[in-house]
Structure 1
Amino acid sequence: MCLPASQKPCEKNMFKAGTDTSTIIVEWALAEMLKNPTIFKRMQSEMDTVIGQDRLLEESDILNLPYLQAVVKEALRLHPSTPLSLPHYSFESCEINGYHIPANTRLITNVWAIGRDPDAWDNPLEFDPDRFLPGGKAYNIEPHGNDFEFIPFGAGRRICPGKQTGILFFCSIFLGAVVHGFDWRLPDGEVIDMKETPGLVMPKTIPIKAFVTPRLASTAYPH
C-alpha cells in the first residue's frame, strides 16, 4: 500500500522507534544473561524441552515458554529502552495527593527509576527473572500500563501503540531465537561492561562482543 506523502515521515518514525528500542532491550537481556550463565542455560533448557533442537522458535511457542517471558519482563524492568516517558501536559490546574499542579505543566515520568525503586521491588538492582514466575512477588505484574510500578511502555491513553508487537515479536521471538539457536561465549578475558549511555533511549555504552556457535541441527537453519 502506498501512503500519501504527508504520512510517510510518520511511518518512518514509527518504524525507526520500534526497531531501535527493541534491539536495545535484546542486547541488555543478552548482557545480563552472559553475566549470569545459569540464567542463560536455564532459558536454553526450557526451549530445548518445548521446541527441541530440530527446528527454530516459532510465535506459537511463546506461550509455552514462561521463563523466556520472565527474562523479557525483567530486562524491560531493569533496562527500559526509553528511560523517560514522552512529555505529558496538564491543560487545567489540578490537585493530586495534596500537590497543586498548575495548568500547562510538563510531566516527564522517570520509568528507569520506577523499575529500580526499592519500595516496589525486592533487590531492585539484581537481574532476577524468577520474580515474574509463579511464587515470585511480581508474578501478577504485567507491562501493560495497569501496574504503575512497571510501565516500560507508559500507561493510559498515550501508552506505546507498539507495546504488544514489541514484547512478542522483537523482544520474545528475537531474544528467544538468538539464545535457542546459538551458544554465546565472551572472548578470553572479556568482561561485560554494563555502563549506560543516557539519552532519549538508553543503549549500552560498549556493545556486546561475543563468539556465537550454532547449537541446533543443521537442518533447522535456513539455507
Structure 2
Amino acid sequence: MLSVPRLEASQGLRQEKLQKLCDYIHECSSNHQLVDVGEAAFVTALNIMSATLFSIDCAQFNSDSTQELKETTRAIIKVMTTFNLVDLFPTLKPIDPQRIMHKSRSCVGQIYSILEDRINQRLKISAASTDYVQKNDLLEALLDYSQSKPSEFPKEHIKHLLLDLFVGGTDTTAVTVEWVMTNIIRCPQVMLKARNELWDVVGRNNEVKESDISRLPYLQSVIKETFRFHPTGPLLIPRKAEVDTEINGYIIPKNSQILVNIWAIGRDSSIWSNPDSFDPDRFLRREIDVKGQHFELIPFGSGKRMCPGYPLATRMVPLIVATMIHNFEWKPEKGMKPEEMDISEKFGGALKKVVPLKAFPISLKVQSTPIEP
C-alpha cells in the first residue's frame, strides 16, 4: 500500500479528497465561518486512508460521528502512551489500578466494530454475487491472502493490521497540519512567501498536485521547520536494546526500553540557531532531509524500523497545507492578533495543541496579483 508504485497509482484518489477539502473551505469562507483546522485535516487524512483501505469515505466535515471517531482515535494513542504501574508491578494486572486496560478495550472495541462491519460487508457482497468485481484496495488484498492461507493469516488478524493503519495514519497527519497552519498564521510573512511560491510554480487557478511538491522548496522548508519545532511524535516509537550496548561511555542494558527525545534535539541550541523561533529559511541554508540520515531531524525515526508511513505522510502533509493556503488567506478568531495565538503543547503520544486552531478562511479567487501582508 505504501510502495512508490502504489502511491503513484492512487494519486487521483487523494486529489479527490483534497478537492472536497477545498470545497469545504470555500463554503466556510462564503458563510464567514470559522474552520477547525485540525478537524478538517483529520477528515481529509481519514478519508484518504479509508478510501485506500476500504474504497469508501469514513468521515464528513462538521459531523458529530466524525468528532467522536477523532476523539476515540486520540484516546487510543493516549492510552497506549500513558505510564502504567502494571508495567513495573505485573501482579497489579488483574486489578488494573489506573483503569488503562478498561479504557483500552473500550476505545479499541469501537474501532474494531467499524472494521468488522467493513470486513463482513465485503465478504457478504462477494459471496452473494456471481459477477462480483474485486475492489482495488488493501482490504481486498488481505481477504484474498487470508482465504488462500487461512492458517498463516486468519481473518481475525486483518482487523488488527487495519487498526494500526487506521489509527497511525490519520491523527499524526492532522496534528502536523494543525501545527503548520498555526505557525504560518502566526507569521503572515511566511504564509505570504509560501503562497507566492505556489502561485509562481503551480499557477493561480490550477490544482496543486503531488508532482508539484518537489518544486516547492520553501513549502518543504515550512514543513521541516514544523517537524523540528513541534514534532508530532516527540519521543518516537519506543525501542528495546537486544544486547548490552555501550554508547558514549554509557552502558545500555539488554531489554532496556529506549526513548529518543527528538523534541529536545529540535530545541538544542548547539545544533540550531535561535531554536525557539519558527524560521523555515534555516532549511534553505542547510541541506537537511527527514529520511533518517540527518540525525538532528528524524521525525519518522531512522533505519530499517523507521515509520513505514513516511512515503504517504510526506505526500499528504504538504498537499493538505498547500490546498489550504493556495487560494485562501487565514485570519485568527476575531479580536486576536496573529502573534497572540496560543502555541502551548500537550503531550499524549502525539504532541497536540492545547487550544485547537480555529481560523477564518478568506477566498482569494477574485485576486489577480499576489497580496501584500
Q: TM-score, normalised by structure 2?
A: 0.55
1:140 pairs with 2:287:
yes
Contact 1:28–1:204 (CA under 8 A) maintained in structure 2: yes
- Given candidates 307, 320, 329, the residue that maps to 1:174 is 320
Structure-1 residue corresponding to 2:348: 199
Whether contact under 8 Å (1:62, 1:172) holds in the other structure is yes
Query: Hey, what does 1:108 align to over in structure 2?
Result: 259
Q: Pick the aligned partner of 2:280 from 117, 129, 149.
A: 129
CA distance in 1, matches of 2:365, 2:298: 36
Aligned twin of 1:24 = 175
Q: Is the 8 A contact 1:56 1:181 kept in 2?
A: no
SS at match of 2:222: helix
- Residue 214 of structure 2 corresponds to which residue in structure 1? 63
Greater Cα radius of gyration, structure 1 or 2: 2
Deviation at 1:15, TM superposition (A): 2.5
How many pairs were matched up?
A: 213
Distance in 2 (CA, whole Å) between partners of 1:83 and 1:95 is 24
The farther-off stretch of 96-105 and 31-40 is 96-105
Q: CA deviation at 1:2?
A: 5.4
Question: Does structure 1 residue 39 correspond to structure 2 residue 190?
Answer: yes
How far apart in 1 are the matches of 2:173 and 2:245? 36
For residues 66 and 95 of structure 1, the distance between their equivalents in structure 2, rounded to whole angstroms, comes to 39
Q: 1:10 aligns with which of 150, 161, 171?
A: 161
Q: Say if 1:2 and 1:156 are closer, same or farther in 2 by CA, change over 3 A.
A: closer
Misfit runs of 4+, over 3 Å: none
Amino acid at match of 1:141: I
Q: Tell me, in whole angstroms, the C-alpha distance in 1 between the residues paired with 2:261 and 2:182.
A: 23
Q: In 2, are the aligned partners of 1:33 and 1:39 still within 8 Å (CA)?
A: yes
Q: Tell whether 2:289 aligns with 1:155.
A: no
Report the residue type matching 2:359 in the other structure: A
Q: Which moved more, 1:197-206 or 1:90-99?
A: 90-99
Deviations 1:181-202 (A, max 9, x none): 3111113322311111111001
Partners in 2 of 1:146 and 1:23 — Cα distance?
25
Structure having greater relative contact order (Cα 8 Å, sep ≥ 6): 1
Q: Please identify which structure carries the higher helix content.
A: 2
- CA distance in structure 1 between the partners assigned to 2:232 and 2:157 by the alignment: 28
* 1:102 alignment partner AA: P
Q: Is the 8 A contact 1:78 1:127 kept in 2?
A: yes
**Maintained 8 Å contact 1:72/1:172:** yes
The unaligned stretches of length 5 or more in structure 2 are: 1-139, 143-154, 367-373
Asked if the contact 1:55/1:216 (under 8 Å) is kept, the reply is no
Aligned alpha-carbon RMSD (Å): 1.5
Q: What do the CA deviations read for 1:97-149 (whole angstroms, capped 9, x no partner)? A: 2111211111111111111111111111111111111xx1xx21111111111
